[in-house]
Amino acid sequence: MFERVGGWCKKTLCSVGHRWIPEFLRGVSPVRWPRRIFDAMMEPENGDSRGALFVFILIALSFMAAMFVIAVVAQINKDGGLGTFGDFFGGVLNPVFSFLTFVGLLITIVMQQKEIREAKASSEKQSFETLFFQMITIHNSIVNSMDLRTEPVADPPIAGKEFHGRDCFPRFYQHLKQEIKRAEAAGADDPIQEGYEKFWARDRKDLGHYFRYLYNMIRIVDESAADTGRYMKLLRAQLSDYELIILFYNGLNEKGKRFKPYIEKYAIFDNLPTELLHKNHDLDRYSDGATTDTSIARKKMASDFLATWKRQYIDAEARGLEGLSDTFDEIVSDASEDGISLNELNGAAGGNLKEWLRRAIRKVSGE
């Protein structure tokens, strides 16, 4: 019986004006609205229960207003007319004030939810920044702890040399270049692969720890919820020219193959000194994303996509808010086909794609 009543109410409300029903209540039988409102207040999906609180207050005030009107009509129809209305009105004020106190308490809870959410986001950001700069410090300490020594030569007499910290990487580069040229002279099928294998066997003891830590540092940033592009640029700025060259050939080797996707994703070689490469066409072994910082271009692509989509599907079709969820799914699907992610759409829409769609639809429909 309740299901039939709920179905009738839902059909009636839809015919009256589906657009006025809050989004979190759409598709739900009115019989179950109280539970849905309660859940939205206690455990809101996005941490903001203002919408559910507004609906609750609106329903409560409507109910009180209806009861007040009924009571006034009943008093008028009595023999005493409005003579006892003052007593009735005084008796009603106490529960009204109690209700307003309860509403104030709910508003306080909602405000605390917002403050807690903002404090949590700020704390998470600060914690990650602290972790990131600690990782940068450790990375630099690993580099500074590097030492290379060359043996003295008797004939002709050449004194041994010492290299420390980042000064070791030009020396590593010379070692790598020598091994690639030797492999090339020996007629190797792939001089870069064979030369790097020989180079790695020679300098692994000094570079193994360096590459393992750098890889895990990039992986942690990539898996975080932070602005990865910003932190990757800071990390990229830590790498010297010779570090980039060694990393370039490491990513082409079997031992560094897990590095390559991150290199191409975050344009690690955006400032690569190409004059230090063995051959310029070695760049062809990476995608364009490895050497070009595409973040600005992708932001523009996402913005252009939104503008075009709005013109073709929102403005031209005069869509309404009742289909907001379907419109959201449609634009995300179309963007995915063009290689644009939901995060990029949110960024181009000012942080919230659904809110951007709502404003665009309202502007067109005049709601």
Query: Average pLDDT in the 348-358 region?
Result: 88
Q: Locate the domains of the chain by residue range.
A: 2-8+22-128, 164-292, 296-365
Residue 351 backbone zone (phi > 0: left; psi -120 to 50: alpha; other: beta): left
Beta bridge partners of 158: 153
136 has pLDDT over 90 = yes
Bridge partners of 149? 162
- The 10 Å Cβ neighbour count of residue 343 is 11
Tokens found for residue 172:
């590593």
58-116 pLDDT, tens digit per residue, is 777 777 777 677 766 766 666 555 556 556 555 666 676 677 677 677 767 766 777 77
Residue type, 235: L
Question: Which residue is listed with tokens 């590459």?
Answer: 211
Query: What would you measure as the largest C-alpha separation in the chain, in angstroms?
Result: 129
Tell me the percentage of the chain whose pLDDT exceeds 90.
20
157 Cα distance to chain centroid: 60
Q: Residue 10: which pLDDT band, with cuts at 50, 70 and 90?
A: very low
Q: Mean pLDDT for the chain?
A: 78
Query: Which pLDDT score is estimated for 17?
Result: 42
Q: What is the pLDDT of residue 226?
A: 78
259-273 burial, b at 16+ Cβ within 10 Å, e below that, comes to bbebbbbbbbbbebe
